[in-house]
Structure 1
Amino acid sequence: MTNKKQLSLTQRIVIGMVAGILVGAGLQFLMPDGSDLIIPLGLFDFSIRSFFVDGIFEVVGKIFVASLKMLVVPLVFVSLICGTTSLKDTSKLGRIGGKAVVLYLLTTAIAISFAMGLAFLVSPGEGVNMTTSTSFTGKEAPSLAQVFIQMFPSNPFAAFAQGNMLQVIVFALLFGIAIALSGKAGDRIASLFEDLNEVVMRLVGILMNIAPYGVFCLLAKLFTDLSLSAFGNLISYFFVVFFALIIHGTVTYSVMLKLLSGLSPFTFLKKMRDAVLFAFSTSSSNATIPITMETVTKKMGAKNSIASFTVPLGATINMDGTAIMQGVATVFIAQVFNVDLSLTDFLMVILTATLASIGTAGVPGVGLIMLAMVLDQVGLPVEGIGLIIGVDRLLDMTRTAVNVTGDSMVTLIVSKSENQFDHEVFDNPNAGQKIEEIDFHNLDKNSN
């Protein structure tokens, strides 16, 4: 018996996206300007719009969006605690851990600030003028001081119930640090959260497996009433995100590497090729960890004592590519739905996405769940994700390549600052050419 080759998740989502667009465009052709197509069936008239557009497509699409929102709190809380407890080695928790965390968060803040600035400059969502089926009213923006005060929950369980993600993130950080400093008792709790993380990742995997159907229904409904001019806006969104990713992955990282370590950015980028290609093909920072480790130690000269700590940590908390997508998508969706973002909203998105990157797992698809949280924080309709989800899947591979490049860059800077770095290996163009073969089939068994 021969096993039929199954389509990958990317292929299935692209199929769902294309099918949804074609079905929506076809229905728009049959029902222009919001009209209906009635088919008389004798005893009753069958409404295409009521049954499909406002029925099946809307119900399935809203269930999919609700599922995205459902996973936000448990995913961030559990993943963030797992990432924080990985700093429990006290010899690394202080100096090395502090350097790595600061650099990771700094690059993420730079990434999303640049991305939002570029999105405001290009304005990819201008002129679409869509409306949302979800009624939401803008509320008076709190002051920046009030935002920081409200980050700390008086009742963490209320924060969970209300989906206040800034408070959830702060509580998870504090709780994770307490676990890391609690000795054997903390080890037992950390082990429990590692198991919980596996379960949550399974939930993410289940959701991403039904994502093609959700994508189909969301896009079929959206494109039924979407004008042709919006296609140009979607293309603009794609290239704004792609351009921001390329600039951040090459220029930003190169400048930081040169300023903070003095190492050659050209040598660094050249030696990153294998890791970047593998990250691009898997769309998973976690699956790429073995390749990244081999690259920074065997090809670039970072000591394993540093790389074994900073690379897995970066796969957990360094999500610059995801932050860029969230920044551009937030501006794009706000422009599509004609929602003005204030300076406080702008800062809120930067702060929320930067902190949320700590809790974003290095597996495909999680960035969209984080985007749902960011949109909710500034009062934007979550169903706007349906506009970008198909294109986003195509950008996911590039985002992962950027994330892995950032992990490696920070590893080299920390290694150099700690005098745990071999210049001869870095300067040798043939270093690490014979990398030990790795069973690629088993790389992602713990990261689905």
Structure 2
Amino acid sequence: MKRPALHWQILIALVLATVTGMIFRGLFGPDPGEGSFCTRAIEISSFVGDLFMQALKMIIVPLIVTSVISGIASLQGVQGFGRLGGKTLGFYALTTLLAVFTGLTVVNLIEPGVKDGVPNEAIRSAFASHAASASEAEHAKVAEAAGRQAGDFLDTFRMMIPPNVFQAATDNGQMLGVIVFSILFAIAMTRLPSEEIRTLRDFFQAGNDVMITLTRWIMAVSPIGVYALMFPVIHANGPEVFWELKAYFITVLVALGIHFGLTLPLILRFLGGIRPADHFRALREALLLAFSTASSSGTLPVTMRCVQENAGVSKRVSSFTLPLGATVNMDGTALYECVAVVFVAQVMGVDMGFTQQFFVVIAALLTSIGVAGVPSASLVAILLILKNSQVPEAETAVVALLAVDRLLDMSRTAVNVFGDSCAAVVIAKSEGDPVYSK
């Protein structure tokens, strides 16, 4: 019997994890107690899921280094790199700006924090209730985020020139320093004699091929990893928590859906001349994995393989656009930050006029660049924007939003990854790659 395609296996794993999680929650409750069968099953599942995520993260740094260096080394010198870099940054700025305005438009139209023209007191009470029942880990996460200052985001620029590139490679998903070092290394390579360039390029190209092979091996067990990651999430959250914050939850999903299903496909069609349906099919595995892991950095190896093998994007384009996108291009995150900030302001009765909402746009654009591609990293940005907008009880509200953050985080990560892939295929088409020519 022929095995289903990998994307179907991942989808089946998602469905099974959802069903199993709900059954266990119904039988044992959300807090089954230490030593119970349910607790042990969750611990085993979490352990397997962590192993899968660590396997993906294990290959990120060598993949970025080998792909960026081999890709830039294959360009026609620094001029080719400058052209590719300009297109990439311009595309990312455009899509992030469109995502931010989409989020602001939707949250102002739906007004999820308002009821009958006044702040929704039921949601405000729910904020306090969720904050009181939140775990110590959630309070600690928000407290850590609250300790950050607006000036801390200048560290993003400091990380671009790391004093120790090996330390930068292990710094919790912050890959900017590794990318900048790889770019500088590749540019310096082009200054060497042709024979030395060829030797180094072949070395890094072979290393990149090895990383792609490792990615295939890891993806062979991805259905097991996806199930193991999703089962504890579904058991812990359940459907009840979404009821009180349903208006906020729906607002975020509608805004993400517009950007994912309308804005980006229109860009594919009119800027790249690419059929959106072809691109959705090519990215199925990467999108499902991004949704399951809530990590754009962890999904990077699979995204690169999908755009190269399924879409026909050359390594020289994908090796530059995708690692950079996984670090600085966060369409879904920027959109989510805008919706979250305006929603909390509505609930707290803070009237945000055009000037303040314009500040939210700028802040979301800048902070989304500095947000690491790991789960819940946007908490810092949301808290900073709320504080600078003089919104009261910001920390209480953010603790409450954590209750529904995981599924929203998964959704916005899929949008982030899809935005990166759209940049790769549109830019590749403009560079003359045979995109979707098969």
TM range (shorter): 0.5 to 0.7
Q: Classify the secondary structure of the residue corresponding to 1:87.
A: helix
Aligned to 2:116: none
**Is the contact made by 2:325 and 2:420 (CA closer than 8 Å) also made in structure 1?**
yes
The answer to whether residue 327 in structure 2 is matched with residue 323 in structure 1 is: no
Greater shift, 149-158 or 376-385, is seen at 376-385
Aligned to 2:375: 372
Which of 26, 46, 65 is the equivalent residue of 1:81?
A: 65
Give, as a single letter, the amino acid of the residue that structure 1 aligns with 2:157. F
Aligned to 2:253: 238
The answer to whether residue 95 in structure 2 is matched with residue 95 in structure 1 is: no
**Is the contact made by 1:77 and 1:172 (CA closer than 8 Å) also made in structure 2?**
no
Aligned length: 359
**Is the contact made by 2:308 and 2:315 (CA closer than 8 Å) also made in structure 1?**
no
Give, as a single letter, the amino acid of the residue that structure 2 aligns with 1:140. R
Identity value in percent? 10
Q: Classify the secondary structure of the residue corresponding to 1:163.
A: coil
CA–CA separation in structure 2 for the residues paired with 1:171 and 1:87: 14
CA–CA separation in structure 1 for the residues paired with 2:136 and 2:47: 14
CA shift for structure 1 position 9: 0.7
**Is the contact made by 1:104 and 1:410 (CA closer than 8 Å) also made in structure 2?**
yes
**Is the contact made by 2:45 and 2:232 (CA closer than 8 Å) also made in structure 1?**
yes
Aligned to 1:439: none
**Is the contact made by 1:289 and 1:315 (CA closer than 8 Å) also made in structure 2?**
no
Structure with more of its chain in helix, by fraction: 2
Give, as a single letter, the amino acid of the residue that structure 2 aligns with 1:148. F
TM-score (norm 1): 0.60
CA–CA separation in structure 2 for the residues paired with 1:325 and 1:404: 13
CA–CA separation in structure 2 for the residues paired with 1:344 and 1:234: 23
Aligned to 1:39: none
**Is the contact made by 2:56 and 2:218 (CA closer than 8 Å) also made in structure 1?**
no
Structure 1 residues 89 and 151, CA gap change in structure 2 (3 angstroms): closer
**Is the contact made by 1:14 and 1:390 (CA closer than 8 Å) also made in structure 2?**
no
Aligned to 1:409: 426
CA–CA separation in structure 1 for the residues paired with 2:376 and 2:216: 17
CA shift for structure 1 position 243: 0.4
Q: Deviations over 1:203-231 (max 9, x none)?
A: 46545532212211112112276252345
CA–CA separation in structure 2 for the residues paired with 1:20 and 1:191: 42
Aligned to 1:55: 39
Greater shift, 167-176 or 326-335, is seen at 326-335
Aligned to 2:305: 286
TM-score (norm 2): 0.61
**Is the contact made by 1:119 and 1:332 (CA closer than 8 Å) also made in structure 2?**
yes
CA–CA separation in structure 1 for the residues paired with 2:95 and 2:55: 25
Q: Classify the secondary structure of the residue corresponding to 1:8.
A: helix
Q: Deviations over 1:239-295 (max 9, x none)?
A: 22120123432444567x4xxxxxxx8xx25xx2663353255555634546644xx
Structure 1 residues 277 and 153, CA gap change in structure 2 (3 angstroms): closer
CA–CA separation in structure 1 for the residues paired with 2:156 and 2:276: 41
The answer to whether residue 243 in structure 2 is matched with residue 228 in structure 1 is: yes
Give, as a single letter, the amino acid of the residue that structure 2 aligns with 1:351. I
Instruction: Point out where structure 2 has 5 or more consecutive residues left out of the alignment.
Output: 114-122, 287-302, 349-358, 384-397
Which of 213, 221, 224 is the equivalent residue of 1:209?
A: 224
Q: CA RMSD in A?
A: 5.0
CA–CA separation in structure 2 for the residues paired with 1:240 and 1:344: 18
Aligned to 2:278: 275
Instruction: Point out where structure 1 has 5 or more consecutive residues left out of the alignment.
Output: 37-47, 258-264, 297-306, 357-369, 422-431, 437-448
Aligned to 1:300: none
Aligned to 2:11: 10
CA–CA separation in structure 1 for the residues paired with 2:213 and 2:16: 28
CA–CA separation in structure 1 for the residues paired with 2:170 and 2:328: 29
CA–CA separation in structure 2 for the residues paired with 1:246 and 1:321: 22
Structure 1 residues 205 and 114, CA gap change in structure 2 (3 angstroms): farther
CA shift for structure 1 position 414: 4.2
Structure 1 residues 409 and 285, CA gap change in structure 2 (3 angstroms): same
Which of 145, 158, 168 is the equivalent residue of 1:149?
A: 158
CA–CA separation in structure 2 for the residues paired with 1:308 and 1:214: 30
Which of 215, 219, 234 is the equivalent residue of 1:219?
A: 234
Q: Deviations over 1:3-58 (max 9, x none)?
A: 5758511221133134424644x36xx86xx8x7xxxxxxxxxxx34456993476
Give, as a single letter, the amino acid of the residue that structure 1 aligns with 2:160. M
Structure 1 residues 349 and 23, CA gap change in structure 2 (3 angstroms): farther
Give, as a single letter, the amino acid of the residue that structure 2 aligns with 1:192. G
Structure 1 residues 96 and 236, CA gap change in structure 2 (3 angstroms): same
Aligned to 1:387: 407
Structure 1 residues 67 and 241, CA gap change in structure 2 (3 angstroms): farther
